[in-house]
Amino acid sequence: MQAPDTLNNMNKLSPREKEVALYIAKGISTNDIAKKLGIKSNTVSTFRKKIFVKLSINSNVEIFKLFLNN
């Protein structure tokens, strides 16, 4: 089960950050996410960093677990 703080922090994500987080949870690469969203890979990486900070997590695996548990 996810920590309550992590679940509450999901609400802090912007719609675009949630979209990127979902793609990360699906295991889609940074380059492929960028292509799907029509943005640069560096922008996806920036979103990933912001997501990690807002959710207090450190890896893509933790994003996957978060979406799996919701």
Q: Which CATH number covers residue 43?
A: 1.10.10.10
Q: How many domains does the chain have?
A: 1
Mean pLDDT, to the nearest integer, of 24-37? 96
Mean pLDDT of the chain: 88
Q: What one-letter code names the amino acid at 35?
A: K
DSSP 8-state symbol, 11? T
Q: Which domain holds residue 43?
A: 4-68
Mean pLDDT, to the nearest integer, of 24-34? 96
Instruction: Report the predicted TM-score, pTM, of the whole model to 2 decimal places.
Output: 0.83
**pLDDT at 3 exceeding the cut of 60:** no
DSSP 8-state symbol, 39? S
C-alpha to C-alpha distance for 47 and 64, rounded to whole angstroms: 16
Token pair listed for 30: 């940074």
- In the block, tokens 């893509």 appear at 60
